[in-house]
Amino acid sequence: MVDITHKINTLRKATATAIVKVSKQETIDAVVNNLVPKGNVLEMAKTAGLFAVKNTHLSIPDCHPLPIEYTSVEYKIEGLDIQIIFKVKTVYKTGVEVEAMHGASIVALTMYDMLKPIDKEIEISTIKLINKEGGKSSFKNKFPYAIKAAVFVCSDSIFAGDKEDRSGKIIVEKLDSYGVETSHYEVIPDELEIIQEKTKAFAKENQLVIFTGGTGLSPRDVTPEALSPILESRIPGIEETIRDYGQQRMPYAMLSRTVAGILGKSLVLALPGSTNGARESMDAVFPHVMHVFHILKGKNHDTL
């Protein structure tokens, strides 16, 4: 199966349809008046669909097991066509479009099975997805200008050339995948005055200023102390989201002192310096965090 461990939970919705076409009006009358020998077709088919949607992963190899938190089945009869409208909702990492189509398919097959003794020319057609919501396509942030970022690696050892930077490069790669231009990348020593100087200078021309490193518990880790006094406002929700995301994957994430806040029109982030910490922090809040720039544009910071 596709790896979805890096994704975040969002409300996912999908609606699918299928059509059962019978060959005569007598079949429709039998369905509507509950005269089919095998029982109530609409209710039996609905029940089959409800069972099926919860077990889609047992039929479709690449589908993930997921919690089905809402399902509805509706019917529309037009002429000799019985249209099935199947809706599914969940709060999870991946969508439910296949689940919705699977449910609609099983409803249609159940109807076929129940109606075949009285109608030998039934057809099933038009099994398709009507709409889906909740994935990346539902949370796109479009800007009339390129979002620019400055990325700083805070590390005395990397600055001295004793180690190679990995976390900063990961952040740059992630930003590029989200359409954010890294206008500046630099390795700096983990010193309070330098961090403050870089923040103030680059927040004037960049929408994003990201630091990686210096957020641990060592006396040398001073990034939070450097940023806190100069930020105009903190955004605890971003900090909490990053920590919670990391904590679900690595128990030591609770020790990270991630910082997120606003300076002017820029979002300033201080992320962990470890390779996995930087990657997971970016996965936790991007690209959704860029919605902050819509809020900041011409608005007071209190709206955050």
Instruction: Spell out the alpha helix ranges (H) of the chain.
Output: 25-32, 41-53, 56-59, 97-115, 156-159, 167-177, 192-202, 223-227, 236-247, 275-285, 292-296
Other CB atoms within a 10 A radius of the CB of residue 59 amount to 12
The pLDDT of residue 299: 52
CB pairs under 8 A, 24+ apart, for 170-177? 170/275, 170/278, 170/279, 170/282, 171/210, 171/212, 171/271, 171/278, 171/282, 174/279, 174/282, 174/283, 174/286, 175/149, 175/151, 175/208, 175/282, 175/286
The pLDDT of residue 213: 94
The pLDDT of residue 295: 87
Spatial separation of the C-alpha atoms in residues 50 and 86, rounded to whole Å: 10
Spatial separation of the C-alpha atoms in residues 182 and 205, rounded to whole Å: 12
CB-CB contact of 115 with 36 (8 Å): yes
- Over residues 157-196, the pLDDT tens digits come to 999 999 999 999 999 999 999 999 999 999 999 999 999 9
Question: Does residue 302 surpass a pLDDT of 50?
Answer: no
Residue type, 256: S
- Over residues 78-132, the pLDDT tens digits come to 999 999 999 999 999 999 999 999 999 999 999 999 999 999 999 999 999 999 9
- Over residues 212-269, the pLDDT tens digits come to 999 988 888 899 999 999 999 999 999 999 999 999 999 999 998 999 999 999 999 9
Residue 259's DSSP bridge partners are 270
Q: Report, as an integer, the average pLDDT of 64-91.
A: 97
The pLDDT of residue 301: 44
Q: Report, as an integer, the average pLDDT of 197-206.
A: 94
Other CB atoms within a 10 A radius of the CB of residue 204 amount to 11
Question: Does residue 140 surpass a pLDDT of 80?
Answer: no
Query: Which H helix or E strand runs over 222?
Result: none
Give catalytic residues, as residue numbers. 113
Q: What is the pTM of this model?
A: 0.81
- Domain range annotation of the chain: 10-137, 148-299
Confidence of residue 151 (pLDDT cuts 50, 70, 90): very high
- Over residues 177-188, the pLDDT tens digits come to 999 999 999 999
Through-space distance between the first and last CA atoms of the chain, rounded to whole angstroms: 38
Percent of the chain with pLDDT over 90: 85
Residue 17's DSSP bridge partners are 85, 128
Confidence of residue 137 (pLDDT cuts 50, 70, 90): low
Percent of the chain with pLDDT over 70: 96
Other CB atoms within a 10 A radius of the CB of residue 199 amount to 22
Q: Report, as an integer, the average pLDDT of 265-281.
A: 95
Question: Does residue 14 surpass a pLDDT of 90?
Answer: yes
The pLDDT of residue 298: 58
Question: Does residue 300 surpass a pLDDT of 60?
Answer: no
Q: What is the mean pLDDT of the chain?
A: 93
Statement: 10-137 belongs to CATH 3.30.70.640: yes
The fold of 148-299 is: Molybdenum Cofactor Biosythetic Enzyme; Chain A (3.40.980)
